[in-house]
A and B are shown apart, each in its own frame.
Chain A
Amino acid sequence: MVEAFRPQNLIEALYILSENECTIIAGGTDLMVQRARGFALKPDFVFPLLFIEHLSELKQIYNNSNEIHIGACVILTDIMQNEIIPEIFKEMIGKMASPPTRNMATIGGNLCNASPAGDTLPYLYAVNAKAILQNANGVRTVPIEEFITGVKKTCLQKNEILTDIIIPDKKFDVNIYKRLGQRKGMSLTKVSLLGLADISKNRIRDIRIALGSIAPTIVRSSDIERKMINKSLDEIKQISYEISNQYDKLIKPIDDARSTAKYRKKVSLNLIKHFLENL
């Protein structure tokens, strides 16, 4: 029995996938941990592996009419070192895992793993990123919030590969990222907030708030954001408590081994207020 495929190019990979049910493996930093069985034992793979991390089609970063394309198999280190990537996204990635893990982990893997604690996700939600999915027959483009359908769930079909992630080629005036873990390095996020805003003449022109690890998926509300547009910074300060409260019902955290629901809720609301009061 074939246990693994190592295609030469993307077309071949898609072809293999159309003929076989496979487990796609990119950097393997999620997969190998999830499927580990014990000391000196083979990991628990049911389907043949399809290696894609080496495919050059999936390793490009380029911009194209106000958009930046990031190949699904670009490793985190390469994103951090690329000039065209917005600084705040690099900062966020720089706080993930550790250098050795960032040298293996891909952005596509982070997306497809669809963990509520996935650290590239708040940014991708905040900037309305799009996912490009391909199968042997064609391509489709899916907005990020439709791509991720739940905890560890995506809309990927068995025969599809995520090939690209598209983000706007845009910088914001205000970029705030706060990420809390059990310790300061090498830990999974227990609460995170990304706040982005454009401000002119002391008024909000654009504002985005995305929260990680506090609900089954990233929390972002265009409704609440819209209410803040064109408000002056002073006005925002005055209603910051009110606004943070509007997020209350969207934030549905859990108690787990790493933190408590109570803490996650309270600190998320604190972080929102703090962001709004310091624009």
Chain B
Amino acid sequence: MKENISKSILRVDSRKKINGEAKYISDWKFDNVLYAKTIRSTVAKAKILSITLPEIPAGYYIVDKNEVPGINRMQTVVSDHPVFAENDVQYIGQPILLVVGPDREIIYSIVAKIEIQYKEQEALFTLEEAEKKSTVFTDYHYRKGEPETVFQQSGQLIEDEFTTGYQEHVYLEPQGIAAEFKEDTLFVYGSMQCPFYVKNALLDTMDLPEDKIRVVQTITGGAFGGKEEFPSLTACHVAIAAHKTRHPIMMIYDRSEDILCSTKRHPSKIRYKVAFDKNNQVLALDVDVLLNAGAYNGLSPAVLQRAIFAAGGVYNIPHINVRGRNFMTNAVPSGAYRGFGAPQTIFGIEMLFYNIAVKLGVDPLEYKMRHLLKKNDPTSTGGQIREEVKLPEIIKKVIEKSDYYNKLKTNKKYQGIGISLFLHGCGFTGKGESVINGKITLEKNKDIVTLKVSSVEMGQGAETALRKIVAQTLKIPIENVIYGEVDTGLVPDSGPTVASRTTMIVGGLLRETAMEMKTRWNETEQFEISKRYEHPKYLHWDDDNFSGDAYPVYSWGANVAEVEIDPVSYEITIKNIEAVYDVGVPIDNRALKGQMQGGIAQGIGWATIEVMESENGKLKQSNLTDYKVPTSMDIPEIHCSFVLNPYEFGPFGAKCAGELPSVGVPPAVAEAVANALNKTINHLPITPEKLMEIDNGN
């Protein structure tokens, strides 16, 4: 009998994580280890006038910019973040130096005596100020059709604006990293998503030959994008300290340090201008996306690209003009977070369509459905939708299961229902996948097969999914498939664990390779096969003009949210979430439902609970007493199902899935709140405090 890939199996990593066997980096022990503590800027923008150090006892060290063997910049998309501050600081929390030594108490007493004199300078804090002063890091632009002409000729225009706030990842395991030299080879161990990003950053900073650096991922307790580029910085810190002291170095953040200085989701502002045809159909769209990148640009251009390519949502809009800008402010750098810019623009476009429909007095869902993309339609960047778009089937299912129309009619005041339609581009944006050119290896040794990839298990289930793909392809038990240790010295670079690409791209490569291995199974007892990713030939992308296929394929979905608002306290209660997705074919139903539920919970958090405000560059919510993420009390039962739509290049037909739920749910919740109060919701998070003002204001 043929095994069904979607049939759930026990997650291979659950046991050791539940019984405590799993060793996270803070559980590791090194002989003669020294601990590192970071001294950070306490001001938002300043010249450093002087650093006065106390007497440093024997065995303790100060590590700063002067100890960097190579380039004092963290390598990423834009390598602008100094590994250690030079003559100036640009945000509160910016690393200046490390105090390193064997006893944490003594380190702290040294830390307490270090005096830094600053000459403070005028800083910029908000997107508004940044726009006024044009502190633009990146300015992107693309268009389709003739938007200028349409806008010139069009009589009726609608303008709208949406804003969203910060979001902190709150992975359970804070950032942690260690480094040691074994003879002349540098080993870095830590909680991370992208071992080769870390390795590449170390190549720049440490000035060591390629074969003298090994990066080993340790069991990672959640990441969500927060361990995409950030560990490159901490890895450089501990590596430089290990280089100077020739001792193993460990650096584990506690939660407040982690919140203070690690990356967050970009706060955004999105402006729309809409022109209509004579049937009130959206004819042209002008979108202006502003992201608050913080003090350094870093990874933000990549986030901005995904944000602007999602600007049109699931709609076929004939004329579209999109501008996207990353702004510099004196705030902690923003970075990758599940969804990577798309949650902001999908929230914007969904609420825009809702607001238009309400204004026109038509049913929002019907209005949205009048614009849906279909197979062979052009994407907003002039690529092509190549797969069958199953949104009509998805929508039918979600409205039936949630009883959407009946509830829309019978809901009382303060009860609301909302629906969101969304998509997510699978894998890296644009040329990304060809640039990475991910490579994997399958190694056979008698009846045991080892898969070698740089993709990491970080709680999302990658280990189960990838082993399952190989096992089912080879028709061997999953116990006979070993997930090779993720060590850059032992595995090829199959790319970073980001962009919902692991199952589809890396899993796809593994499947292809396993199929070849199966035909050659009896050749010899021992052999290995390696393969590199090839982008499907029919895809075209012009990186200079942002035109063509921004993604090889898309995953799709629709969510219905039901809410109730307490008129006395404005407290929001989410009563139900109904979610239907097309992710191609689920590799393991239960694991995928877990991903969807977790992603929805994070989306609900961003939409309703997670307030992070910066006051003069200082975060007001700087610990988990003040920064709240949803608990099981805040999340209703989530009903989740899948519509099958196999993708020919995905393993067993799988597409991307990890980010989709976080992208999709916020506008459904926002619509439901708007519906309950009969008001417009143009800002996330929607807190009771904000609702009170909205309800009294208009």
Contacts and interface: CB of A to CB of B under 8 A. Distances in A.
Nearest to A36: B254
Contacts of B688: 180, 263, 267
A250 to B, nearest CB: 19
Interface string A121-135: 000000000000000
B65 to A, nearest CB: 24
B105 A41 contact: yes
B634 interface: yes
A178 B571 CA distance: 11
Contacts of B459: none
Interface string A248-279: 00000000011110110011001100100000
Interface in B75-107: 104-105
A257 B621 contact: yes
A191 B692 CA distance: 14
Secondary structure of the B contact surface, majority rule: loop
A178 B688 CA distance: 15
Nearest to A269: B568
B253 interface: yes
A271 B569 contact: yes
B107 to A, nearest CB: 9
A179 to B, nearest CB: 10
Nearest to B613: A257
Given A39-B254, A41-B105, A180-B688, A267 B634 contact: no
Interface in B628-654: 628-634
Contact of B626 (A184, A258, A260): A258
A183 B609 contact: yes
B625 interface: yes
Contacts of B622: 257
Given A180-B688, A182-B611, A183-B609, A39 B252 contact: yes
A191 B375 CA distance: 52
A152 B138 CA distance: 49
Contacts of A201: none
A138 interface: no
Contacts of B689: 259-260, 262-263
A198 B372 CA distance: 60
A188 interface: yes
A185 B632 contact: yes
Contacts of A100: none
Contact of B633 (A185, A258, A263): A185
Interface string A118-152: 00000000000000000000000000000000000
Contact of A38 (B108, B611, B630): B108
B568 A188 contact: no
A187 B632 CA distance: 13
A42 B625 CA distance: 20
A183 B631 contact: yes
Contact of B628 (A42, A180, A182): A182
B253 A180 contact: no
In this complex, the interface size class of chain B, counting residues with CB under 8 Å from chain A, is 20 to 34
A126 B104 CA distance: 47
B573, B625, B629 interface centre (most CB from chain A within 10 Å): B625
B628 A41 contact: no
Given A184-B634, A185-B631, A263-B692, A178 B254 contact: no
Contacts, number: 72
A267 B692 contact: yes
B625 A266 contact: no
A270 B632 contact: no
A186 B631 CA distance: 8
B692 A266 contact: yes
A40 interface: yes
B259 to A, nearest CB: 12
B521 interface: no
Task: Kindly name the residue among A33, A38, A260, A262 whose own CB sees the greatest number of chain B CB atoms within 10 A.
Answer: A38
B634 A185 contact: yes
Given A259-B689, A260-B689, A266-B692, A182 B609 contact: yes
A186 B626 CA distance: 11
B570 interface: yes
A37 B628 contact: no
Interface string B286-310: 0000000000000000000000000
Contact of B571 (A180, A185, A266, A274): A180
Contacts of A267: 568-570, 688, 692
Contacts of A40: 35, 104, 252
Contacts of A182: 609, 611, 628
Contacts of B253: 39
Contact of B568 (A185, A186, A270): A270
Nearest to A258: B626
Among the interface residues B105, B568, B571, B634, which one has the most CB atoms of the partner chain A within 10 A? B568
A183 B628 contact: yes
Nearest to A98: B631
Given A183-B631, A259-B689, A263-B692, A178 B569 contact: yes
A185 B573 CA distance: 12
B620 interface: yes
B633 A183 contact: yes
A33 B624 CA distance: 11
A270 B626 contact: no
A191 B108 contact: no
A274 B104 CA distance: 54
A65 B434 CA distance: 82
A188 B252 CA distance: 28
B262 to A, nearest CB: 14
A269 B688 CA distance: 15
A126 B609 CA distance: 31
Nearest to B255: A39
Contacts of B629: 183
A41 B108 contact: yes
A173 B254 CA distance: 48
Smallest CB-CB A-B distances: 10 pairs: A185-B633, A257-B626, A39-B254, A184-B633, A182-B628, A185-B631, A263-B689, A257-B620, A270-B568, A274-B568
Given A180-B569, A181-B628, A262-B692, 5 more contacts: A38-B254, A182-B628, A184-B634, A185-B632, A270-B568
